[in-house]
Amino acid sequence: MCYERLFDEISMPKHNCFFADFEQWQSKNNYPKGEIFYKYPPKLGLMNKILATKIPKVSLHKPYENDKKLYKDSEKFAKDLSFEAMK
């Protein structure tokens, strides 16, 4: 299966809390990255690293045998994000 084509088939959410204009702006501007707005104190410094780290790719998986749908692998994402932050 070609996941790039699958990504193209995903449509933007239509929920009223989703800010579609901002998503379109980010896409047109190559997803710019700003500075951290709030820096946590040294005791919570890991949060600063997590917020500043490179976001890992989101993996899809099929956690249910009888379900053909693909789901985001949030556990893998959390592990990958933690690994990147600890570098």
Provide the residue-wise pLDDT of the chain in tens; the chain has 87 residues. Answer: 566 777 777 777 888 888 888 888 888 888 777 778 888 999 998 889 988 898 899 999 999 989 989 999 999 999 999 999 988
Predicted model pTM: 0.55
C-alpha 86/C-alpha 7 separation (Å) is 29
Compute the radius of gyration of the chain from its Cα atoms: 16
For residue 83, give the nearest of 56, 44, 60 by alpha carbon: 56
